[in-house]
Amino acid sequence: MNELHIVNLKIKMKHRFFHLLSIFFIILFTFSFSGVQKMNNEQSENENLLKVSGDQIVNQKGETIILRGFGLGGMLHMENFIDGYPSNEESMREGLLKVLGKKKYDLYFDNFLKSYFTEADAEYIHSLGLNLVRIPINYHLFEDDMNPGVIKEEAFKYLDNVIDLCAKHQIYTIIDLHALPGCQNQHWHSDNPTQKAFFWVYKDFQNRALHLWEVIADHYKDQPWVAGYDLINEPADPTGEKVFPYYKRLYDAVKKVDPNHIMFLEGDRYAKDFSKFTEVWDNVVYTNHDYAFPGFTGDYPGEINGKYYDKNILEKEFLEKSEFMLKNKVPIWVGEFGPVYTNDPEKDETRYRVLKDQLAYYDKYKVSWCIWLYKDLGLQAIIHQKEDTPYMKLVSSFLKKKDYLGADAWGSSDKNIRQVMEPIEELFKKEFPDYNPYPSGQERHIALLVRHILIAEALVPEYCNLFKGLSDEELISIAQSFRFENYVKRQRLENILTGKE
């Protein structure tokens, strides 16, 4: 009996041993398989990291990647014609903070930023067969002027969300520093309330921007779906001497933090002038902005202001802007281009013809491109907000007044206030015939100072007061007007960008 019991016990122990052994091997196999799968996923992800090879952008497998997509203006860097307010972003935000108070101000902008780019936006861009979103950002997103160099706790919250959504849908992103401390150019789109680009005057501003890029590069150095860093949007140094040396400082600093991502360098004088660029650096893409004059006014083909424009002229001008890149056999990225639209079918047909000709020569020279713009209120983007949203109902009358006064530089004119502008223009022609202010001469400088600064600044309180007394629920509803489902597609533009016509 005892011997039989011992034998049975041994058999049971043997079975238990083999059972435990089998469980061990199952667990080992599972972990090994998941580890291999994780390694394969990481390897696959890393293959998407882009780099420069000769005159092309390629992935880690050596496949040429042509980047084509949209600029996401109006979100992490806001602009007046895109979002509806007058003047520059900082002035508008200061006004809204005063009207709403801190709690409601934060509530509104949190919901605005959560609404502006969602999964529906990423799905739509992917459905078009496009693979790029350029994300303009404002340095104020990361630091306060009264606390320079100290990065805000939630600085990356909204930017991370856009990048992650794009990555999920196999869309590359380029981070574009659109507004730098001190302002890198003379206009509203660098969040500049003046006509001076103080960034090029004070080294402190330059040091702050360098530190900011070190922080951004460190944060995204392991994200393969970030195509790279657009270091300065449209720099404009009146001396023409400071942009390239500063790029060298930025390039060296960022490369120490992140040696793998591409850096995108724009030419001086609003991304058009590379004459002072004396070297070509590794893993750099040089970028111009190719706004064609007939995309804004006049007949095409035809004569505008005494100059004839057709496809050959536009291509010639593009090649002149790209001379540095072609000469040095490096990639070209057109970081911004695109006409504005009028809702006049005949005029807009002209604008679409300009766009098609531009896309044809981009394809001819195998250049990457990023059209300006993805979202707005109806002037330029592929989708624009419906007229019956809570936000449009709030601001529609104000938008008409702003347009009547020609306050925005982009898309408005002074036709209704010529009685104000003309005497000033005539005075300057008579008394200061040799006055030629940087960057665009007398008339445009007067327009900047009178319309886009003085009149625009005076309109800011009127815009901000539209938000006075609104409840939390109303503010949330207004902010959510910027969600994808509240926009209308510009179907003709979609057809052209997707090659359907």
Query: How do residues 426-474 score in pLDDT, each as one tens digit?
Result: 999 999 999 999 999 999 999 999 999 999 999 999 999 999 999 999 9
CATH topology of domain 48-497: TIM Barrel (3.20.20)
Neighbour-count burial of 288, counting CB atoms closer than 10 A to its CB (0-12 exposed, 13-18 middle, 19+ buried): buried
pLDDT (tens digit, 9 = 90+) per residue, 214-233? 999 999 999 999 999 999 99
Is the pLDDT at 40 greater than 60? The verdict is no
Question: Among this protein's residues, is 474 annotated catalytic?
Answer: no
- In the chain, where are the structural domains located? 1-47, 48-497
Q: How confident is the model at residue 17 (pLDDT cuts 50, 70, 90)?
A: low
| Spatial separation of the C-alpha atoms in residues 106 and 92, rounded to whole Å | 14
Report pTM: 0.92
| Spatial separation of the C-alpha atoms in residues 328 and 32, rounded to whole Å | 48
Q: Tell me what pLDDT residue 34 has.
A: 46
In the chain, what percentage of residues exceed pLDDT 90? Answer: 91
Characterize the bridge pairing of strands 307-309 and 302-304. Answer: antiparallel
| Tokens encoding 284 | 């750099």
Q: Tell me what pLDDT residue 335 has.
A: 98
Candidate list 79, 143, 266, 336, residue with the active-site label: 336
Phi, psi values for residue 51, rounded to 5° = -150, 170
| Tokens encoding 367 | 């250049």
pLDDT (tens digit, 9 = 90+) per residue, 42-86? 445 689 999 999 999 999 999 999 999 999 999 999 999 999 999
Q: Tell me what pLDDT residue 18 has.
A: 53
Is the CB of residue 351 less than 8 Å from the CB of residue 295? yes
End-to-end CA distance of the chain: 92
Least confident of 13-22, 161-170, 192-201, 241-250: 13-22
Question: Among this protein's residues, is 279 annotated catalytic?
Answer: no
Closest by CA to 376, choosing from 386, 367, 366, is 386
Q: Which residues contact 159 (CB under 8 A, 6 or more apart)?
A: 76, 135, 137, 141, 175
Phi, psi values for residue 28, rounded to 5° = -60, -45
Candidate list 79, 143, 234, 266, residue with the active-site label: 234
Q: Tell me what pLDDT residue 1 has.
A: 46
Is the pLDDT at 209 greater than 90? The verdict is yes
Q: Which residues contact 230 (CB under 8 A, 6 or more apart)?
A: 134, 174, 175, 176, 177, 264, 266, 287, 335
